[in-house]
Structure 1
Amino acid sequence: MDSHLRRRLLLSTSALLAVILSAGAAAAQTDPEPASSQQARPDAPASVQTPAATAGPVTVGGEDVTDADIVITGSRIRGAAPVGSSVIAIDRSAIQASGAVTTDRLIKEIPQVFDLGTSENSRGQSGGNSNITFGNAINIRGIGPYATLTILDGHRVVNNSRSVDPSIIPSLGLERVEVVADGASAVYGSDAIAGVVNLIPRRNLNGIETIARMGVARDFHESQFGIAGGKTGDWGQVMVAYEHVFRSNLSGDDRDFFTSDQRRFGGRDFRTTQCNPGTLTVGGVNYAIPAGGVTAANAAALVPNTVNRCEGFTGQDLFPETRYDSVNATFTVHLTDWLDAFGDGYFSNRRFRRNNGYTGATVTVPSTNAFFVRPAGTTDAESVQIRLDELPNNISFGSTRSWQGAGGLRAKFGSWEVQGQIIYGRNDDTSNTPNGINTPALNAALASSNPATAFDPYGLGRTSAAVLAAINDQVFNAPTLNRFTGAEATINGTLFDLPGGGVKLAAGYERQELEVALGIQRGAPSTPLTFRNYARKVDSGYAELFVPIFGTGNAIPGLRRLELSAAVRYDKYSDVGDTTNPKFGINWSPFRGLTVRGSYGTSFRAPLFSQIYGNSSNIFVQPYADPTLGGTIVQGAALSGGNTGLRPEEAKTWSAGADWEPTRNLRLSLTYWNVKYTGQVDSYLGDLAILSREAQFAGTGVILRGADAAARIRELLASGITVARGVLPANPVLFIDGRTQNLGRSETSGIDLVGSYTLETEKAGIFTLNANATYLTRYLAAITPSGTLIDRRNTVFNPLTFKGRGSLNWLYDGVNTRLTVNHVGGYDNNTLPNNGVQKVDSYTTFDLGVTFNIGDAEPQGFFDGGFSLSFDALNLFDRKPPFLDFAPTVNGSGGYDATAANPVGREVAVTLRKRF
């Protein structure tokens, strides 16, 4: 960021803090705050629920606690949960009971979260090809990998220019996680189309907690070690947590369902002919090279019309080996009775190493090759389909290193609170592949007549180590360096009182400055690493109003409570224009125990830097099957690169639901939600079947034919854009604009059901039943604004119709036993030839855990208790993923669906916790 700009930003925020100080001081002298509305101290109860008089449902520990100073995710107003929207939360006890070792996996246990796109084990969907560091992000509803906003304690977090991996915060440093599965751009700005995930760090820890966990499955293991310390008092609080997590890789070789030969499961044979030994081809006739190789002396062993077939992804990991080291901290200092200093921060270093499998290739072998073998009676050019097993496994490794600090002042005067804070963070991603194929070196070795410098493709392993090293010396390095600077100022309080309660207002200003450097190094190790630098500035203003029409003071039959909310936010971007987004909500309680709610709003997502600027623009000459010519192959010119004309994606969202609590121990919540998403960014550079949907692109300029195509190509060539691959026809007749475009749209709707029931007995302990399920009623998608909406719901690699999770907890005499069931409904695999469909089975797993609590829950000394020992069996019955008739890919899946099933199998874990 420019130093002058940073100075102005810091000065303006400092001035704001000075105003806070002076205003708060005056208020402290003239208008002392009633004791009942004082801010909760950090030694307040840890389990916080939505205030009963103002909120929709929040699932946190099973109890409701009213506190006028709590800010619930989805609203900026203190003491008012998001009116009309539901909140799902994971509290501290649920975090401890979960078998997840990192925060991202904890959140993905929620059924409303789908594992599509930005995931370490599933990268074949939208956004997955950019996930070269094998990170994880949250995808609510499966609407899109970048349509969910992840924040930390209510403010933004530096990302990798695309998304935020929640594992930056150690689970030991989390107080709770709140998820609003509803559009929230009116409150938080960009990315909050499908919802918001708020990582709330601990601020009430008074003592020390430690954890040690070890989990083991077949050919897989993971471990977790951590320590957190905190101190609370009348002066404020401080907390620091550290965690180290190790997860071993899981090789596809160790799971029989990840296979190319799926015939034994009733599927197809996807085996490749790039094997070792390989298959020799001359004049279109194949000859399988026999085991042990072939030389001129045994050339008669080459039998025409035979091939070798083998697994195409030998040695590939289903997910990489990963190491996490993460620290987070919080502090609050009560400077006076009206002024607090506060802050939070974290440091995270996630390192990965992935085996990508052995490289396959089809090579042309000149007759000059020192080991050349020709099948009898042949004279044509010769090629060999081979897997290069003599070269090392094609590995990639790298890291995501992220840190951020936020701090500010909070002043209270009367019923009003003014707050200002500054945020600064860095995120550096790097991904290295050090052993790529040097094609010129390989071709030179294939042509060499010297055995010492020639490459042997005939299965005898005679290639020298020096030649192999020269062939295997290409590097790929793609660092992404990000910097985030933010400033926030808010005012929050009660405007005036109505009979139904106080009319509250929250308003604020935010400034974001984002800088990204996209690096690339591809080729020989001596190739320089180059960067492209981009920046974005965002100025935002927002206001939110809460109006209680009916409440405790004027409740009447049928109108026990009626609350309205309205929010609006204006965001001005330095590169993609501006946008204004409102949201409205209503809560109506006709009688005690029942609340009916609804919400409506608009949301948006600003395009990514990589989508706007892309890689360098080039023309790629590619073959396209043309249905207008009976499927004849036509050479077309496709344009690559970004698109500086991109505008923000937009969505309209609404929801309606009811929360029913007929008794103290029973709570049910039902929500219907709907998202209409337009202007979705996509590109069609690699879509060689695009002409089969040509009518849907009418009027977009994506497909041009004849004279229009020729004119567009001439225009591009004249502007300096060159042909990067292929040979341009003398008279081109087909042009494809493969740049990113605001063309896609989708309509998604569904029903969420959340319930809990607690049974307290005198002699058998306490039983608690929890359930959470989501059912998609619609997922329609089109590739252009006027294109046909196609129902993709319940098809492979798209959002599935039904997901659910339920648990039964039994607490008796200090022992907590829990049984959890996870269910994903069956769906259609519509990737079979001739429009065939495979019915994929549903997937249900059971987790069993037992925790023994020893001694006092709040020990005064090290030996006074606070000790727990847990035994967990995840996927208790070792349920294998359902069979998926689909070819294995470099991005996961193949024989099974990585987006819907866990390949680990049964994992047994032991966890020790100690608090003192």
Structure 2
Amino acid sequence: MKSIRTAALATTGMVLLGLTPPAFAQQTTPASEPDVQTPEAGPSTITQDQVEGDVIVTGSRVRGAAPVGSTVIALGREDVIASGAVTTDRLIKQIPQVFDLGVSENSRGQSGGNGNITYGNSVNLRGIGPYATLILIDGHRAVNNSRALDPSVIPTLGLERVEVVADGASAIYGSDAVAGVVNLIPRRSLDGVEASGRYGFGDDFHEWQVGVAVGHKWSQGQIMLAFEHVQRSNLSGDDRSFFTSDQRASGGNDYRVNRCAPGTIIAGGTTYAIPTGGLTQANAGSLVAGTANLCNDLIGQDLFPKQAYDSANMTVTQELGDRVTLFADGFFSRRTFFRNPASQSATLTVPQTNAFFVRPAGFTGTSYTIAYNFINDLPINGNPGSAENWQISPGVRVKLFGDWEAEGIYSYGQGEDQSYTYRGLTTANLNAALASSNPATAFDPYGLGRTTEATRQLISNSIFFAPTLNHFTGYEARLNGTLLSLPGGDVKLAAGYEGQEILTILGSARGVVGTPIAYRYFTRRVDSGYAEVLLPIFGSENAIPGFRKLVLNAAVRYDKYSDVGKTTNPKFGVNWTPVDGLTLRGSYGTSFRAPLISQIYGNSNNLFVQTYQNPGGSPIVGVALSGQNLGLRPEEATTWSVGGDLDIGSRLRLSLTYFNVEYTNQVEAYLSDLAILSREQSFAGLGIITRGADAATRVQQLIASGIGVVGALPTNVTLFVDGRNNNLGKSLTEGIDFVANYTLPTDNFGRFQINLSGTYLTRYEVAITENAALIDRRNTIFFPLKFKARGAIAWDLDPVRLQVQATHVGGYTNNAVTVPQQVKSYTPVDLSIAWDLGGSNKRGILGGLTLGAEVRNLFDLQPPFVNLAPSGNGSGGYDATAANPIGRQFAVSLRAKF
């Protein structure tokens, strides 16, 4: 099947290539290849004056126009190279407006994280929501896993540019563009061969990358193929001292639990620590009442999993005469992973019928419980899996009359996510083994290893399969051209239709080995129409003092969903240039996000046994429900922004933007939020958190209705969390984005470049429900932080380039503990050097070869300490959403151009 998909991409490219007519004299630039220059070190913003020719820039459908009222943050080809990022998703995470909240390989405890069963990455602009950012490939939608698109499906070698519009854009692109849009633009300019190799390592960690891109251009077209392989090791929590349960030495709490090996007996309300050498009735006298074994129950857990990426993409363009152009782009990506979880633990009910039963002195009951860890009895319940995606998008562009063009694009793609576990606890078999009086079939919980292998297999034969398959078909028809000419310039119109057909197949197998996978099939049809008008009032031909330029823009889009209704969203923008070099701008619009199919119907329908952070003391074992909610409605947002761009000569450019996003009907799920108890009062009366006897009753009702349990239920359930998706949330986000680029050329000392970009939140308030009071969550743990910035200084003196860059994450408050903790800021510094081995003229046998060396986190800065219990979904002793646990990393690379 994989070979067929790969062949389909290659065949399409060869078919279009085979249509090549005799060479013509004129060469044009494809619409997806704007001639936009960006600095060589760090992101910049694109303005209208930088856009040339028949190009499309993200944020506007109008050909030859940058978005009016909004800015475009651009990372060009040189930025991709200078970043040292081994995958595209890590390149994008270097932008300060991107927050690592929700869909992330190393942090799954936030909203949206529970659906990230393949440990992928996506983009969360400003932390507004894990699915509130739309990711496009060359301006069109791409197949995903029914939740989010992982940018790593496009190899860095096949990437020409990344454009980010951090502004609501549903009037232009439809659903998901609430916080903004990220457009991955593949290469069409490559003429030759590029190859690269990179090896990086840190303490107990390594990664490597190899890739090649081949491109050829001729007078009327081009073709490009790129491939990359990336291998990344896991990082175990055992290898980082800050990922620990006992945090007293750092000023934190003691989060150790009594589910250990050996375990702790709880008999008649009294605890007894089982001795290290094990327990039999002969040494029962050694049990001491009131003692307990305390330990870290997350031994062996990965902070992030081992991953391997294979990604490829292609582009083809071919002009047929003067009016018709055929083009296509496509990609294939397969990412595999293996994650080591912690050893399984549970609170066991041990009846006196157990073959190895030991009765503490004075205990007269018929059973007691043992808090226990299976680290010495069962293998790690490892979690392998994969994410595979491919898509092909051929199209045709036809020149009509005047400058009018019509364009049609057809896209088809498939995605397949697979996630497995094979050795989970089987509660019924475990209880049977605990009750067995036969040593051959009984389970020994007393630390002497007397359980037979057959019994061990029997109590850990629970499988957990969660395949998700997606088929995506997209249709696009566009019309673009000039309506009329005014003294201020040409009035332009872009209009079009888009259709989407989506088939999502959710699979589930929960039970003993041999349980078949049950599949559920869901379809969605989306029909959309849009129009956008660009109206220049003042321009070069009629400029007057105070109005060098004035451009207005209006867009509207109608979307009709087969399952969640219809919506209409407008957007208005204005650019005003009162004097040369200064542009003031503003925008206003509405946006929406349709609930995901997986959110409506639930990826699974199960009860999950989980350990929750407890602000008042030791972690609590609770039970969370996942499942469907057929009443979900689309999320809605109102966005507006004002700002300005200032060009001082050709060396300095400053950009400042104030933004405001009011987001309502937000779909929230708390299945993976293991710190939810820190906000328990906010959920009063909603039925999300249930305590005590009511929790036990609710869980038993759900079990009686046929809902299965993943994990071993505690003897006494005291905590229940409804983890299903609900339209609960509302948020208000305000802040300031800034970008500064400065270039200083010298006669004898090369060229210096300084780049600074960041975002400062002036407001981030959320409400659990529409009618609840807004609460300031800015600068609190697992919510958007007040200040993030990135600065870089680059020095080019042929043939050497040296760059130093720093990323700053501001300090914040950890309010997940009873006494809030102030977490320190985090500012790692990176150093890189590149040397053109062929010299400044790039000639000779070494011409085209560039040797690079890099040190990430130069000063080996450890993540700031966070008083937080380690959890199965990331963080613990540190905050995985705000700091990197790897530490200092070294890397060497070699890049070749032919």
Code of the residue aligned with 2:298 in structure 1: it is F
Q: Deviations over 1:536-562 (max 9, x none)?
A: 000000000001100111111110010
In the other structure, the counterpart of 2:246 is 261
User: Who is 1:19 aligned against?
Assistant: none
Pairwise CA distance, 1:296:
1.8
The within-5 A match list for 1:358-377 is 358-377=343-362
Q: Which of 507, 527, 536 matches 1:539? A: 527
Question: 2:646 aligned with 1:681, yes or no?
Answer: no
Q: Residue in 2 aligned with 1:865?
A: 847
List per-residue Cα deviations over 1:394-419 (Å, max 9, x = no partner). Answer: 21010001000000110113211110
Call closer, same or farther: CA 1:440–1:645 in 2, change over 3 Å. Answer: closer
SS at structure 2 position matched to 1:843? coil
Match for residue 571 of structure 1 among 517, 541, 559: 559
Deviation at 1:864, TM superposition (A): 6.0
TM, length-normalised to structure 1:
0.87
Q: Is residue 146 of structure 1 aligned with residue 131 of structure 2?
A: yes
1:658 equivalent in alignment to 2:655: no
| TM-aligned CA distance change 1:721 to 1:788, over 3 Å | same
Match of 1:177 in 2: 162
- The match for 1:40 is 29
1:274 to 259, 273, 282: 259
The alignment partner of 2:828 has SS state of: strand
Structure 1 distance, partners of 2:314, 2:137, is 12
C-alpha distance 639-353 of structure 1, shift in aligned 2 (>3 A): closer
CA deviation string 1:895-916 (max 9, x = no partner)? 0000000000000000100000
Question: What amino acid is aligned across from residue 851 of structure 1 in structure 2?
Answer: A
The answer to whether 1:392 aligns with 2:392 is: no
1:93-124 per-position Cα deviation (integer Å, ceiling 9, x unaligned): 01001121100010000000000010000100
Equivalence for 1:82: 67
**Mapped partners of 1:692, 1:758: distance in 2:** 52
Equivalent AA in structure 1 for residue 337 of structure 2: F
TM-superposed CA distance for 1:228, in Å, is 0.4
Q: Equivalences for 1:562-641 in 2 at 5 Å?
A: 562-614=550-602, 641=627
**Distance in 1 (alpha carbons) for counterparts of 2:889 and 2:329:** 34
Partner of 2:891: 909
1:895 paired to 2:877: yes
Give the direction of change, closer, same or farther, for the CA distance of 1:738–1:158 in structure 2 (3 Å limit).
closer
Q: Distance in 2 between matches of 1:233 and 1:170?
A: 24
1:647 Cα deviation after fit: 1.9
Aligned to 2:766: 781
Pairing 1:847–2:847 present:
no
CA distance in 1, matches of 2:328, 2:582: 38
Partner of 1:882: 864
CA contact (8 A) 2:135 2:184 kept: yes
Question: Compared with structure 1, are the counterparts of its residues 800 and 692 closer, same or farther at alpha carbon in structure 2 (3 Å cutoff)?
Answer: closer
Q: Indicate if the aligned counterparts of 2:487 and 2:537 stay in contact, CA closer than 8 A.
A: yes
CA offset digits 1:410-454 (Å, max 9, x no partner):
011321111001000000001001110112222222222222222
Report the Cα distance in structure 2 between the residues aligned to 1:355 and 1:185, rounded to whole angstroms. Answer: 40
Residue 854 of structure 1, CA deviation: 2.3
CA distance in 2, matches of 1:830, 1:690: 9
Alpha-carbon separation, structure 2, partners of 1:894 and 1:688: 16
Report if aligned partners of 1:61, 1:93 keep a CA contact under 8 Å in 2.
no
Q: How many residues align?
A: 841
CA distance in 1, matches of 2:607, 2:885: 40
Aligned equivalent of 2:756: 771
For 2:496, the equivalent position in structure 1 comes to 508
Query: What are the equivalent positions in structure 2 for 1:305-384 lying under 5 Å apart?
Result: 305-380=290-365, 381-384=367-370
| CA distance 1:813–1:614, change in 2 (3 Å) | closer
Deviations 1:830-849 (A, max 9, x none): 1112xx21000000100000
- The alpha carbon displacement at 1:280 in A equals 1.4
- CA deviations on 1:258-286 (whole Å, 9 max, x unpaired) are 11000010000001111111111211111
The correspondence of residues 675-824 of structure 1 with structure 2, limited to 5 A, is 675-683=661-669, 692-693=681-682, 740-824=725-809
1:40 counterpart SS class: coil
- Aligned pairs for 1:157-168 (under 5 A) are 157-168=142-153
- Secondary structure, aligned partner of 2:755: strand
In structure 2, relative to structure 1, the CA distance for the partners of 1:347 and 1:337 (3 Å cut) is same
Q: Are the structure 2 counterparts of residues 393 and 419 from structure 1 closer, same or farther at C-alpha, using a change threshold of 3 Å?
A: same
Q: Is the 8 A contact 2:836 2:842 kept in 1?
A: no
Matches within 5 A, 1:106-121: 106-121=91-106
Cα drift, residue 690 of structure 1: 9.3
What does residue 249 of structure 1 align with?
A: 234
SS in 1 for 2:743: strand
Determine if the alignment matches structure 1 residue 408 to structure 2 residue 390.
Answer: no
Work out which of the residue numbers 208, 214, 219 in structure 2 matches 1:223: 208
One of 422, 429, 441 as aligned partner of 1:434: 422
- CA gap 1:63/1:264 in 2 versus in 1, 3 angstroms: farther
Report which stretch shifted further, 839-848 or 364-373. 364-373
The separation in 1 between residues aligned to 2:477 and 2:334, in whole angstroms, is: 30
Q: Give 3-state SS (helix, strand or coil) of 1:253's partner.
A: helix
Secondary structure, counterpart of 1:442 in structure 2: helix
* 1:828 counterpart residue number: 813
Q: Is the partner of 2:412 in helix, strand or coil? A: strand
Question: How far off is 1:693 after superposition?
Answer: 4.5
CA contact (8 A) 1:473 1:524 kept: yes
Q: Secondary structure at the match of 2:44?
A: coil
Q: Does the 8 A contact of 1:250 with 1:319 survive in 2?
A: yes
Report Cα offsets for 1:192-247 as digits up to 9, x if no partner.
00000000000010000000000010000000000000000103000000000001
| SS of aligned partner of 1:213 | strand
Distance in 2 (alpha carbons) for counterparts of 1:505 and 1:352: 46
Match 1:479 to one of 467, 478, 481 = 467
Encode CA deviations 1:278-325: one digit per residue, 9 max, x unaligned: 111211111111111122222222111111111120000000000000
Counterpart secondary structure, 2:277: coil
**What is the 5 A alignment of 1:640-651?**
641-651=627-637
2:56/2:64 contact within 8 Å kept: yes
Could you tell me how far apart the structure 2 residues matched to 1:300 and 1:852 are?
A: 72
Offset of residue 139 of structure 1? 0.2
Give 1:123's aligned residue: 108
Amino acid at match of 2:29: A
Question: How far 1:619 moved relative to its partner?
Answer: 11
Q: Tell me, which stretches of 5 or more residues in structure 1 are unaligned? A: 1-33, 51-56, 623-635, 727-734
Q: CA RMSD in A?
A: 3.1
Query: Which amino acid letter does the alignment assign opposite residue 824 of structure 2?
Result: D
Correspondent of 2:52 among 46, 58, 67: 67
Is the 1:668–1:755 contact (alpha carbons within 8 Å) kept by the matching residues of 2? yes
Q: Structure 2: give runs of 5+ residues left out of the alignment.
A: 1-24, 611-621, 711-719
Residue equivalent to 2:5: none
- Following superposition, the deviation at residue 736 of structure 1 comes to 10
Query: Which residue of the partner structure matches residue 729 of structure 1?
Result: none
- Of stretches 849-858 and 657-666 in structure 1, the one that deviates more from structure 2 is 849-858
Aligned-residue offset at 1:750: 0.4
Question: Share of identical aligned residues, percent?
Answer: 59
User: For the residues of structure 1 that align with 2:606 and 2:463, how far apart are their CA atoms?
Assistant: 22
Counterpart CA distance in 2 for 1:455 and 1:620 is 24
